[in-house]
A and B are shown apart, each in its own frame.
Chain A
């Protein structure tokens, strides 16, 4: 009852009632209609980057992205089992931003599995998050799948210590192209915890790891990178079905390394260029990824969105909901042994906006 009331109120406050029957939601119903027993669904919202301007003012553009995602996820019918938030709720880790972001997210009546991003962390080193959101890393079981949430955005202590105040540290971490930045890492302590956490699970148990940064190395200058990724991958090696899902890159991105399938989340705030678009430095962008469309700068919500995932037989399918583009579906293909795009994987079927340069 409370949930219905608040949802209606929320709807009104956004003036978006007319949106209640948008295409993405229909698509969900079709998928649910198949009623396959060993399958479940969760939604993903990521990289909201709520930005405080002054007093009660926040950047309208980014507020609207998060509100739109929350609104649409609220109307998936039937509701997914839970929602993953992929990190970077705030832009500069400010109490005002985290509070405002949490307030928008509180309109969801579903449980939320929180992943912390560097923008939430480097002002107070995770203090507010742990007090008001939850632990920085943890694990849980869901319908036969073991989920692990990592805090992958730690870095060298010497870098953390070199700033005169917390805001200077935050600003330096927030700048993606900072030539004096510092690489993300999971760290010894958490890797030891991960080993112990996984000990009791058999190699047949499907594992889903949720992290903010990709747990592989794409492009160090923008921190599309985790310094100790190989050590984490090694711990996951004995499992047959491993999926790593991450935020941070604000784009469609997928990859396969050995037994591990990687997939990225979209941002609700803005899209990022693929590192191939920076002509001055080499990159390791996965070759199998079919890029998202280049964004139209005249459409504020283009290149942003949310997604939902099915886990079936321990294998992931991600349905990207793109607000100004046709949805994209990326799934792990057990025959091929890597993830593919349902519509565009064949190079002959690609379209001009997918070319980034």
Chain B
């Protein structure tokens, strides 16, 4: 009981100082961040529809609207790799094979853009990690 009162007093102290406002953001901030995100989606869409490898083949030829990429199922076990793989592993797999190209570094801005576009086209679908 004594402890509870003490806790409340401490919390009251922090609230009173106004520190809780440190990470508040405005509607305008939200719009700005969404715009920044959508710019990356747009770039991802462009890359997805461009020949990223050496043979003029592009992702959209086999994945219109990024269909059949199933980002919500990653990470998942890929029996052909013999391990749990990430979406980025599979993006690179398709760049190296159907597109006959060089894999992208996992933190390459182009990789992030591709992931942003693929995920955006799948928005609203519940997460299903591990699903085949």
Contacts and interface: CB of A to CB of B under 8 A. Distances in A.
Interface of A: 51-53, 59-61, 175-177, 221-222, 270-273, 275, 277-280, 294, 296-298, 300, 352, 356-357
A247 to B, nearest CB: 16
Interface stretch (B1-9, B32-40, B90-98): B90-98
A51 B93 CA distance: 21
Nearest to B122: A279
Nearest to B55: A59
Contact of A297 (B57, B61, B94): B94
Contacts of B94: 297
Contacts of A271: 62
Given A51-B55, A273-B68, A177 B80 contact: no
B97 A300 contact: yes
A-B complex: 6 closest residue pairs judged by Cβ atoms: A177-B64, A273-B67, A273-B68, A298-B80, A277-B67, A176-B64
Q: Is the interface of B mostly helix, strand, loop or mixed?
A: loop
7 contacts: A59-B57, A176-B64, A222-B65, A270-B98, A280-B121, A280-B124, A298-B80
A273 B64 CA distance: 8
B110 interface: no
B98 to A, nearest CB: 7
B56 A59 contact: yes
Given A175-B49, A298-B80, A272 B62 contact: yes
Interface string B79-110: 01000000000100110011010000000000
B65 A61 contact: no
A273 B121 CA distance: 14
Given A175-B49, A279-B124, A272 B56 contact: no
B11 interface: no
A60 B94 CA distance: 15
